[in-house]
Amino acid sequence: MGIVAVVGRPNVGKSTFFNRLIKRREAIVDAVSGVTRDRHYGKSDWNGKEFTLIDTGGYVVGSDDVFEAEIDKQVELAIDEADVIVFVVDVTSGITPMDNEVAKLLRKHDKPVVLAVNKVDSNKARLDAVEFYNLGLGEIYCISAINGSGTGELLDQVVEAL
């Protein structure tokens, strides 16, 4: 079965996206300590294809203060274990240095990446979203993890790459 990892800096909406998609949570106790401790696993499916979804959210619990090295570790881990990576960014903040850092890592590998521009809740936000083409990761998928808009098109792309 395919593995899809959701990566990105804190507060972009990774967990909101994850919780919207999963149908069954998996309690997997990670053997690796530290940064991987708070990874959440769940099962989902789309277009008849089942996959495991990983929310890589728990960098530093209860803190927005994330060290670049920890982000790097999570992304490297995702690159190792996932078949497809969903890289989530936030249209309301635009491209941040940490987004650029993640994009740089992802561009170094061949792993399929689907770029989700989240919090696109308005037409104005849709216009702002074009900025994210500058991350050099190809097509952008505008979504609203809160109301679900755009997630169908994104998932079409995800399962095609599985």
> What does the binding site for Mg ion look like in residue numbers (CB under 5 A)?
14-15, 57
* 34 marked as part of a ligand binding site: no
| Segment near ligand GDP (CB under 6 A); pick from 10-18, 34-42, 93-101, 107-115 | 10-18
* Residue 52 or 144 having the CB closest to ligand GDP: 144
Please identify the residue of the shown chain whose CB is closest to the bound Mg ion: 57
| Segment near ligand GDP (CB under 6 A); pick from 39-47, 73-81, 114-122, 130-138 | 114-122
Whether 4 contacts 53, CB under 8 Å: yes
Regarding 74 and contact with ligand GDP (CB under 6 A), the answer is no
Among 40, 57, 89, 132, binds ligand GDP (CB under 6 A): 57
* 156 marked as part of a ligand binding site: no
Regarding 32 and contact with ligand GDP (CB under 6 A), the answer is no
Q: Using alpha carbons only, how large is the chain's radius of gyration in Å?
A: 14
* 108 marked as part of a ligand binding site: no
The two structure tokens encoding residue 2:
């395919």
* 55 marked as part of a ligand binding site: yes
DSSP the chain: -EEEEEE-STTSSHHHHHHHH-SEEE----SS-GGGGG-EEEEEEETTEEEEEEE---SSTT-S---HHHHHHHHHHHHHH-SEEEEEEETTT-S-HHHHHHHHHHHTS-S-EEEEEE---SHHHHHHGGGGGGGSSS-EEE--TTT-TTHHHHHHHHHHH-
Binds 121, which of ligand GDP, Mg ion, none (CB < 5 to 8 A, cut-off by type)? ligand GDP
Regarding 1 and contact with ligand GDP (CB under 6 A), the answer is no
The two structure tokens encoding residue 49:
């294809």
List residues binding ligand GDP (CB under 6 A).
8, 10-16, 57, 118-119, 121, 144-146
> Which residues are known binding-site members?
8-15, 55-59, 118-121
